[in-house]
A and B are shown apart, each in its own frame.
Chain A
C-alpha cells in the first residue's frame, strides 16, 4: 500500500465513521520489529523492546509533523532462523512493512538477509553482530557492534601489559571469533598464548578448567561466555580458586559483564577488566540522561545494557532517515542515508556507519568492574580507540591484496 492509497483509505474510513474534524492527514510508516519475546532469549528480547519503546516515547517530536510510526512486533522465539525467515516474509508480503529492525540473533539476521535483498526492504540490526552477514545484503546496516571490535583491541591492550595469556571461551561461533581476534591482537603485540580451552555450553562447573589454567600460570585470562549465568559461573570459579591472589588478570569483552546482568552476578565479577563500546556507568552527559530516562521508565534498580543502546541508536537512525526523506521511506535512499550516518548523541559516545560495509564504527573503552554507591558497575578507565571498524572485514581486504 503506498502512502497515497493509505491516505485515501484513511479519509474514506474517517468519513464512513462520521468523523468531521480530521487532523492533518496522518501518514503512517510501518516498521517490522523482529525480536525474542519468548523462549530462552526472552531476556535479550526484553532489552530490545525496552530500548525501542523508550526511544519512541521520548522522541515522538523528532518525526516530521503528521508522520506516525506503526510498529509491527513479531516473536522469533530465540535463535531460530526458520521462524525469523517466516515472520520476515509475512512482514514484507502481508503486513507490507517498509523497514525491518530488531533482530537479536546472528543466525536470524543471516536468514533475513536474502529476503531484504530480494524485496528491497531496509533492515537495521539492533543487536545481531555476526561479522560478515552485511557483505551480501546491500539493504542492511547495523547499530550494534561486532565482537572483534572489542576482542582485537583487548588483545592489543593486553600485549602491552602482559606476556603470557590463556584463552577460555564458550564453545560456539562467537566464542571462537573472540578467541581468534584476541589471539591475533595479543600475538601481534608480542605476547605468547599458553593455551586455549573451549568450554561446552551445558557446563555446570568451571572449576576444573580454571584449575588447569591456574596451573599453567599465565599473566592474564581472556574469557568469553554468553552474559549471565555462564559468565558468572566462570568468574566464580576464578575467585573460588583464588586466582586473583596469584596475579592472574581476568580480561574479556563487555559481553561477559553486561550492565543488566551485572547486579545478579555478585562480587565474583569485581575487578574483571573488559573492553566494550558501552557501559551504563559511563559519565558522558548523553549517557547520564539516557540512563536516568531508562530508570525513570523501568525502575531504579534496572540498568540498560548494550542491547538497549543498540535499539535506541537504531531507532534514532531510522527516525533520522525518515526526517531526511520528509516522512517517507525509500529503500535505496534510506540505505544511502545510513551509509553516511554519524551520531554524536549516542549513549555510547560518537559513532558512525562505515559507507563501505554499512557496519558500525564504534568507540571502545577499557573498563573495570567496581562498586559504585554499593552497586557493581563497569567503570570506564580509558578510551582504547575512538573509532574502530570491524577488524575481520578489514583483514579480509588486506589479506586479499
Chain B
C-alpha cells in the first residue's frame, strides 16, 4: 500500500511537471493561434529560436540563467515584429490553407537556417547549479528543475490570464479578434494591437522553448517534431481560450504519465487516443468559444 501511495505521488508530480512542459512550449501558440486566430504552425520556429538563444547565452556568453531567459523572450519578440510587419500581417484575413502553407514554408526555412548555424546535433543546456539536483519535500526527492518549471508556469498562466481578462489591452485584443472592423471603427488601432499581441505570443513561444530546452532537446527539426504537441494542447484546450490549453496540458500530462507508468506497453499512445476522443466529444475543445 505504501509503495502504491508512493508511486501515486511520483505519478502526480511527474504528470504535473510534464503537463507544465507541454504548456510552456505551447503557451505562445495559445496566444497567436488561440487568441488571434492565426493558424501559426511556425510556432515551433519561435520556440526553437528562444531555445537557441538560451543555449548560446549560457554556453558562449556565460550570461546568468534568468537574464538568458529574459533575452530569449525579448529577442524573439523583437524579431517577430519584423516578421509580422513584413509577412504575417498580409495573411491575417487570408484563408486557413494559405496561412498553413505560409507557416509550413517558414518552418522549412528555419530548419535549414538552424542547421547552417548550429549543425544537426542537439545543444546542451548548462543549467545553473541551483536548478540542478534535487528538491526535498516530505521525505521525497523531486528534480529541482521540474519544481521550478511548475512554479514558473503557474506564474505565467496567472499573468497571462490577468493580462487578457483584466486589462484594457486584453479587452481590446478580444474585441479586435471577435470583430476587427467594429473594433477599428470605435478607434482601436488594430494594426498596432495585433503587432504587439503577436510579439507577445512569439516572445512567449521563445520563452517556452528556452524553459523546455532542458527536457525537449533543441535541434534543427524541433519545429516539426514538437508541432503535434503544440497542436494537441491548443486544440484540446479550445481556440479563443487561455484557460483551455492550461487545463488541457495538465490533463494530458497527468494521464499520459500515469499510463506510461502503469501500462508502459500501450501508455505512450494514450495521448493520441485521448486527443481523438476529446475532439470527437467536443470538436471545439474543452473550453472552445467558437464552434
Residues on A lying within 8 angstroms of B by beta carbon are 40, 42-43, 46, 197-200, 202-205, 207-209, 211-212, 215, 228-229, 232-233, 236, 240-242, 260-261, 263-266
Contacts and interface: CB of A to CB of B under 8 A. Distances in A.
6 contacts: A204-B21, A208-B256, A211-B261, A229-B122, A261-B122, A265-B122
Contacts of A43: 119-121
B229 A42 contact: no
Nearest to A239: B143
B217 A229 contact: yes
**Interface residue tally on B, bucketed by range:** 35 or more
Interface in B225-263: 225-226, 228-229, 256-258, 260-262
B146 A240 contact: yes
Interface string B86-130: 000000000000000000000000000001000111111110000
Given A209-B264, A229-B217, 18 more contacts: A40-B221, A46-B120, A197-B264, A204-B18, A204-B215, A205-B256, A205-B257, A207-B17, A207-B257, A211-B7, A212-B264, A228-B219, A232-B122, A240-B145, A261-B121, A264-B123, A265-B122, A266-B126
Contacts of A40: 221
A205 B217 CA distance: 11
A197 B260 CA distance: 10
Contacts of B262: 212
Given A200-B268, A266-B125, A208 B143 contact: no
Contact of B143 (A229, A233, A241, A264): A241
A392 B31 CA distance: 54
B269 A200 contact: yes
Interface in B190-235: 214-217, 219, 221, 225-226, 228-229
A232 B217 contact: yes
Contacts of A241: 143
A264 B3 contact: no
Contacts of B3: 215
Interface of B: 3, 6-7, 10-11, 14, 17-18, 21, 115, 119-126, 134, 141, 143, 145-146, 214-217, 219, 221, 225-226, 228-229, 256-258, 260-262, 264-265, 267-269
Given A200-B268, A208-B257, A233-B215, A42 B21 contact: no
B122 to A, nearest CB: 5
A42 B121 contact: no
A204 B257 CA distance: 11
Contact of A264 (B6, B122, B145, B216): B122
Nearest to A228: B122
Contact of A215 (B7, B119, B121, B126): B7
A205 B143 CA distance: 14
A263 B261 CA distance: 30
Given A198-B265, A233-B217, A207 B141 contact: no
Contacts of B214: 236
A207 B11 CA distance: 9
A77 to B, nearest CB: 14
B117 to A, nearest CB: 14
Contacts of B261: 208-209, 211-212
Contacts of B143: 240-241
Given A207-B257, A242-B141, A264 B124 contact: yes
Contacts of A202: 225, 228
B125 A208 contact: no
Nearest to B259: A208
A208 B215 contact: no
A265 B219 CA distance: 12
A43 B119 CA distance: 8
Contacts of A264: 121-124
Contacts of B258: 208
B218 to A, nearest CB: 9
A7 B162 CA distance: 80
Nearest to A201: B268
A265 B21 contact: no
Nearest to A266: B124
A208 B19 CA distance: 13
A129 to B, nearest CB: 20
Contacts of B125: 266
A205 B221 contact: no
Contacts of B217: 228-229, 232-233
Given A200-B269, A242-B141, A208 B11 contact: yes
A207 B269 contact: no
B115 A42 contact: yes
Contacts of B265: 197-198
Nearest to A230: B217
The 6 A-B pairs with the shortest beta carbon distances in the complex, nearest first, are A229-B217, A43-B120, A208-B260, A240-B143, A200-B268, A266-B124
